[in-house]
Every structure is written in structure tokens, then in C-alpha cells.
């Protein structure tokens, strides 16, 4: 597994590289097919009460990408927190695979036809659907917190990211949502070919929203 450590506007010391290197054997044991373990360290420079360093960890290999990030008083603290989140996401992925073994899969169409009875997927409430539709139409203002000329402090910061659409089943989308540590995941459902979103509920329960064609 290739280990890459980069610093954004700060220096990466040999001591920190050795510290990260001491943690990677456990990842290689848990994910023997992993190809790359990437660490990006940056200095927190906004006007929020938090300050220190931000560490972003990305694991690339066969299957979904695994990501985690955290902010700490220094890069060691931030790395430890992000590393712990990575381990938790790997554990949850392995637990979900164990639970699914031997279980028959239900298609999204079949689940919707029975109002999702018998599966851990529940239609989202109306307010959640409206929020997703507002996001899809671009009616939610997006603030780019990386623009250096923006000096006015705003306690609410929305980070904007764009990814290529992926054709996935609902279970595959849930797996990817867990591995990147988000509360929801946008995708194109492979059976219906409709834009959909899965989201986390309590425990191991998840919800799914599918957008229908505009009348």
C-alpha cells in the first residue's frame, strides 16, 4: 500500500511521517487490497472559535473510497481522531457485509410497491424531500469558504462539492455513504435509473428518496 502525506501551507516533519507510518500496518491488515493511504494536513485559518490543524485521510483501493477528516489542536490530535473514524467506518462496512450474507436482496421497485415493509428502508418525510429538491434546483445559497478575499465572518458555512453520478443499487449506496462518513449519499439507482438519495436514520436503519420525472 502506497502512503502519501502532503501539507497544505505547512511543513510535514519526519516525526509526523514516522507517526503516520506506525499506524498504517493496521490498515493493511484490515484492508489487504488497499492501494493508497493518503493524508492531507492543512492549517485552520478561518475566523471560527476552533483553531489548529485539519487532517483528511483517504483510502483508495478496489471498491468504494473511504474518507474521514477532523480538526485538532495540532496535526497529531487531528490525525488520531480522523484515524479513529476511518477504523470505525471499516468496522461498520465489515459488520454490514456479515449481516447481508445469506440474505435475499430486495429491489427498490419491489420495496416501494409494498411501502418498504420488511426492509430497513423508509420513505422520507415530506420536509426532507422538499429539502433535497431545493438542493437539486440550486435554491440553497452556497458559500465558498476557500475564497481568500472573503473576510466577513459567518458562523454558517456550506461546503460545495461536485462528483460524477454513479449507477448503484441502494445497498451499494448505503455502503458508500458509511465509508465516507456522511449522513446521506446521492446516486442514480441502477434498476430505475432515477436520481436517488439514501440517508441515515437511527441505528442500522436507512431511508431512501427517489425523484420522479417532473409532470
108-210: CATH, from 3.30.750.24, 3.40.50.1220, 3.30.505.50, 3.40.50.1980: 3.30.505.50
Arch. (CATH architecture) of 2-100: 2-Layer Sandwich (3.30)
Q: Using one digit for the tens of pLDDT, what is the confidence trace for 187-199?
A: 888 888 888 888 8
Q: What is the pLDDT along the chain (215 residues), one digit of tens a residue?
A: 899 999 988 889 999 999 999 999 998 888 888 899 999 999 887 555 556 889 999 998 887 788 888 888 889 999 999 999 888 888 887 777 666 554 555 555 665 566 556 555 556 666 666 666 665 555 545 444 444 455 555 556 666 767 777 788 887 787 777 776 677 888 888 888 888 888 877 666 778 888 877 65
pTM above threshold 0.85? no
Q: Going by DSSP bridges, is the β-strand pair 66-72/121-123 parallel, antiparallel, or unpaired?
A: unpaired
Dist. CA 21–CA 38, nearest whole Å: 11
Distances (CA, A) of 21 to 82, 141, 197, 206: 15, 41, 36, 36
The residue extents of the domains of the chain are 2-100, 108-210
Dist. CA 21–CA 32, nearest whole Å: 16
Two domains, one topology: 2-100 and 108-210: no
Amino acid at each position: 500500500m502506497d502512503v502519501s502525506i502532503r501539507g497544505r501551507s505547512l511543513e510535514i516533519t519526519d516525526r509526523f511521517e514516522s507517526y503516520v507510518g506506525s499506524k498504517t500496518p493496521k490498515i493493511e491488515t484490515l484492508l489487504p487490497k488497499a492501494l493508497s493511504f493518503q493524508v492531507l494536513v492543512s492549517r485552520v485559518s478561518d475566523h471560527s472559535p476552533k483553531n489548529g490543524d485539519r487532517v483528511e485521510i483517504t483510502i483508495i483501493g478496489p471498491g468504494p473510497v473511504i474518507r474521514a477528516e477532523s480538526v485538532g489542536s495540532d496535526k497529531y490530535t487531528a490525525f488520531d481522531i480522523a484515524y479513529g473514524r476511518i477504523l470505525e467506518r471499516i468496522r461498520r462496512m465489515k459488520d454490514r457485509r456479515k449481516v447481508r450474507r445469506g440474505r435475499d436482496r430486495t429491489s427498490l421497485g419491489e420495496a416501494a410497491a409494498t411501502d418498504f415493509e420488511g426492509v430497513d428502508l423508509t420513505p422520507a418525510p415530506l420536509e426532507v424531500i422538499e429539502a433535497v429538491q431545493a438542493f437539486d434546483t440550486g435554491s440553497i445559497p452556497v458559500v465558498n469558504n476557500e475564497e481568500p478575499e472573503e473576510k466577513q465572518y459567518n458562523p454558517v458555512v456550506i461546503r460545495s462539492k461536485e462528483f460524477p453520478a454513479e449507477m448503484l443499487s441502494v445497498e451499494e449506496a448505503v455502503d458508500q455513504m458509511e465509508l465516507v462518513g456522511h449522513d446521506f449519499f446521492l446516486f442514480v439507482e441502477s434498476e430505475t435509473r432515477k436520481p436517488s438519495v439514501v440517508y441515515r436514520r437511527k441505528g442500522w436503519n436507512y431511508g431512501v428518496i427517489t425523484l420522479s420525472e417532473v409532470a
